[in-house]
Structure 1
Amino acid sequence: MKMRTGVAIAASAALLGMTAGMTPASARETRLAEVIKDVAYAPAQPATSKGHLLDLYLPAGGEARPLVIWTAGSAWQRDDGKSRADSFAGVLNARGYAVAGVSIRSSSQAQFPAQVYDFKAAIRFLRANAAKYRLDPKRFAYMGDSSGGWTTQMATLTGGEESLEGDIGTTGQPSNVQAGVAFYGVSDLSKLGGGGGNSPQEKLLGCAVTACKEKAAQASPITHVDKSDPPLMLLHGQADSVVNHEQSVMLYQALKASCRETQFISVPDANHNMNDVMNPSRFGKQTGYTVSNCKETVSNGSPNPTWDHIITFLDTALGTGVTRSHDHG
């Protein structure tokens, strides 16, 4: 279904990852955009699944735009990952970014590595149709929260890995991205423990973590860190009660050891939702860790985890050449 009329994009209450939260208030910008809903990037599998659908939010103008791909978290238990992309597409559209909300299959519909096959199929589809949708195929970034943060990390760190490519949907296109922004993602499944086969990670794997260590390692973003990875930003609350803050600490340390361009914003007292992590009342209390040219910089009280700062990170990582004169993040 395609809507060519202007659509006002505004923030609204929504589920965030595995816990409830609200879309960041700083995303409350209104922008007229072309919205294209429920695009099938691959045939439904199974037939009732919504896991191969995406929504597009395209800014005005005819030039090719950099793209931010979004997948929302759900503990891998829902197939509606494209949800909530509308709540912040306005702020990104206003800065010249197209947005694609991408759904992948739930763990009840398919088990790992199916979810990786799915998002890679979506990336290939978007790249193959870049001219149609006025996208810049050389400037793709991924973003997500919780299990969507895991998706972001996997998308950013597994570019070019043939064993995880799959053959779903469009083929013959690269499935890599040029940057990632991950909110409180899971980086090492082996550190999550088990739940008698009932935990979200065990449902994703289809087995107990202790019984399939090799598969758990393959499904862990930290396993895929190497010296060719593109820039990755990590944001995590120190009081996260769902995905332990240590998950981002471990991934940051691995990226630092590999001399990758990365930034980690650690927010005290913030729990498992974007509003908490990006809450202005916490500005100045966070710690920022940045690795550039193999050198680490630690900043107490900065940078603030704002949309301005995230977009500046994307501008730099994607080489858009755009200066944000009003960036106070």
Structure 2
Amino acid sequence: MTNSVSKPFPWHLLAPPDPAELPLPPPARPAEGVRLLRGAVYGVLDASRPLVVDLWLPEDVGGPVPLVVFVHGGGWRTGTRDAVGPRFQNWQPGPFVRLVRAGFAVASPDYRLSGEATHPAQAEDLAACLAWLHTRAADLNIDTTRTVLWGESAGGHLAALTALTQHRRRGSATVTGCVTWYAPTDLAGLAEDHPGGAFDPRNPSTRESLLLGGAVADRPEQARDASPVTHVGPDAPPFLILHGTDDVLVPAQQSVRLAEALRAVGHDPELRLLPGGNHLWVGLSDEDVENCYALTADFARRCTSA
């Protein structure tokens, strides 16, 4: 009879995988000239679902291409990473395919929603995605030194917040421009901007309060830290700020506040207030919606031109 010698368990096998070393998803081809890598894992967090990003990449290009990172909206509470908004759901080809055919790569990440984690988790996730994209730049044939963030509604808030703080991070993508569509930018100022007291900062069930983990009025420091206007400084990249004048969910004054804060430190943001435009571009003509997209694509091109 032989004595078996127990070996120590290889505990390292239980360690979470390093997203920088995980294989990329197999490519699909949703449109001519476009490769789609759907659901690449960029973040593995304890007690949380893996965080993934979709990658829309051009085929048969020479050198690395500039990058647009789209951040979806949904009040930090819901939303899907490939949804630009209801006015674009029937576009053929879609907004991302059009950007790829214009010479960009597009990344559209998930992030933790407010039912999963409160601020600053969402901004931390976006920063982690930018770092992962930088690490995998050679694999993806992207140039992360030419990165434009673009977000709508809550995604615009996160895009702006990240664009204004990304310069503090090393070993990550360099944000060279930011586009916001109807985005909240000053959470403490929402009550003042909403007409007729439509926003109650003492209400713990508003989207903004759920983001902060409590009523906006009860969390002034968190509200300040979560507001892009707080982080405006000399290192801010160029901004294109689009907002409808008739927005009943996020008043256009929120975009004005961001533009004024940028101007106060010497920047020259491009602010466009669209008459009759409500949230999600409700109320605008198809031509006006097309123009919002065209302005965004042209701005991205100018911000990433070599």
Please indicate, yes or no, whether the TM-score normalized by the shorter chain is above 0.5.
Answer: yes
Q: In the aligned structure 2, how far is the partner of 1:306 from the partner of 1:212?
A: 35
Picking from 159, 172, 175, the partner of 1:174 is 172
Q: Which residue of 1 aligns with 2:102?
A: 95
Q: Structure 2: state its 5+ residue gaps.
A: 1-23, 86-92, 192-200
CA shift, 1:3, in A, is 4.3
CA shift, 1:214, in A, is 1.2
Which amino acid is the alignment partner of residue 80 of structure 2? Answer: D
TM-score by length of 1: 0.75
Q: Which residue of 1 aligns with 2:295?
A: 309
Q: In the aligned structure 1, how far is the partner of 2:118 from the partner of 2:174?
A: 21
Picking from 106, 110, 124, the partner of 2:113 is 106
Q: In the aligned structure 2, how far is the partner of 1:279 from the partner of 1:195?
A: 38
Q: Which residue of 2 aligns with 1:55?
A: 54
1:234-253 mapped onto 2 (5 Å cutoff):
234-253=241-260
Picking from 129, 134, 137, the partner of 2:144 is 137
Q: Is the 8 A contact 1:160 1:175 kept in 2?
A: no
Q: Which residue of 2 aligns with 1:203?
A: 210
Q: Which residue of 2 aligns with 1:2?
A: 25
Q: Is the 8 A contact 2:202 2:218 kept in 1?
A: no
Q: In the aligned structure 1, how far is the partner of 2:62 from the partner of 2:245?
A: 42
Q: Is the 8 A contact 1:73 1:148 kept in 2?
A: yes
Picking from 148, 154, 161, the partner of 2:155 is 148
RMSD: 2.3
1:1-329 mapped onto 2 (5 Å cutoff):
2-8=25-31, 31-44=32-45, 46-47=47-48, 49=49, 52-60=51-59, 61-78=61-78, 80-84=80-84, 87-161=94-168, 173-174=171-172, 176-193=174-191, 194=201, 196-274=203-281, 276=283, 279-280=286-287, 282=288, 305-320=291-306
Q: Which residue of 1 aligns with 2:9?
A: none
Q: Is the 8 A contact 2:203 2:215 kept in 1?
A: yes
Query: Secondary structure at the residue paired with 1:192?
Result: helix
CA shift, 1:309, in A, is 2.9
Q: In the aligned structure 1, how far is the partner of 2:258 from the partner of 2:291?
A: 19
TM-score by length of 2: 0.80
Gap change, CA 1:242 and 1:83, over 3 Å in 2: same
Q: In the aligned structure 2, how far is the partner of 1:317 from the partner of 1:83?
A: 23
Q: Is the 8 A contact 2:157 2:180 kept in 1?
A: yes
Out of 55-64 and 66-75, give the one that drifted further.
55-64
Q: Is the 8 A contact 1:79 1:105 kept in 2?
A: no
**Percent identical:** 27
Per-residue CA deviation, residues 5-49 of structure 1 (Å, 9 max, x unaligned), is: 4312xxxxxxxxxxxxxxxxxxxxxx43110011110115544x3
Q: How many aligned residue pairs are there? A: 266
CA shift, 1:174, in A, is 2.5
Gap change, CA 1:33 and 1:232, over 3 Å in 2: same
Q: In the aligned structure 2, how far is the partner of 1:212 from the partner of 1:131?
A: 42
Q: Structure 1: state its 5+ residue gaps.
A: 9-30, 163-171, 284-303, 321-329
CA shift, 1:123, in A, is 0.2
